[in-house]
Amino acid sequence: MIEERYFEEYKLGAERRTLGRTITETDVVLHAGQTGDFYPHHMDVEWCKTQEFGQRVAHGTLIFSVAVGMTAGAVNPVAFSYGYDRLRFIKPVFIGDTISARVMIAEKREHKRPDHGMVVERLEVVNQRGETVLACDHLLLVRRSSRSAEPETGTAGAVGLDRTPG
């Protein structure tokens, strides 16, 4: 469960999928309690009946956090999470919806630290109807293997050509 995986070992276009998880009322209530966000969109059944969706909507940060957790696999001690880009809440997730996540290696970039590279994982969360509800790009800073401490010039360009639509 702890596996070193170097920059060179991330394959562009490689994809993995998680199992599913149903977002429950419990998840929404616990997330409100953890974050202090008790907006009526998440907490007030009666008010929601008067709104566009007619029912409570899960917090965006809940779906994002659960999705990130779902994709946590083996610990990679030579990588660390740099951040996220273009996090988008594409469709609402309702109580009772079941989500799963798909992660694809969408891009590999040079980084100013010559012994590291940036891996961009495209994360998409899909519901039980096959609709994408959330998407984001996860930026992973990953050490290069000792064999290739020299920046592999050209790699970024090649990656650019292969760049997934992500």
Interface positions with its own copies (CB under 8 A): 1-2, 18-22, 24-27, 29-41, 43-47, 56, 59-62, 64-66, 68-70, 72, 75, 81-89, 96, 98, 128
Distance of closest approach, residue 41 Cβ to its own copies, in angstroms: 8
Q: Which residues contact 111 (CB under 8 A, 6 or more apart)?
A: 117, 118, 141
Give the separation between CA 59 and CA 122, rounded to whole angstroms.
Answer: 21
Distance of closest approach, residue 128 Cβ to its own copies, in angstroms: 5
DSSP secondary-structure letter at 8? Answer: G
Q: Radius of gyration of the chain from Cα atoms?
A: 19
Distance of closest approach, residue 164 Cβ to its own copies, in angstroms: 19
Using DSSP's 3-state secondary structure scheme, residue 48 falls into helix
Using DSSP's 3-state secondary structure scheme, residue 17 falls into strand
Distance of closest approach, residue 47 Cβ to its own copies, in angstroms: 6
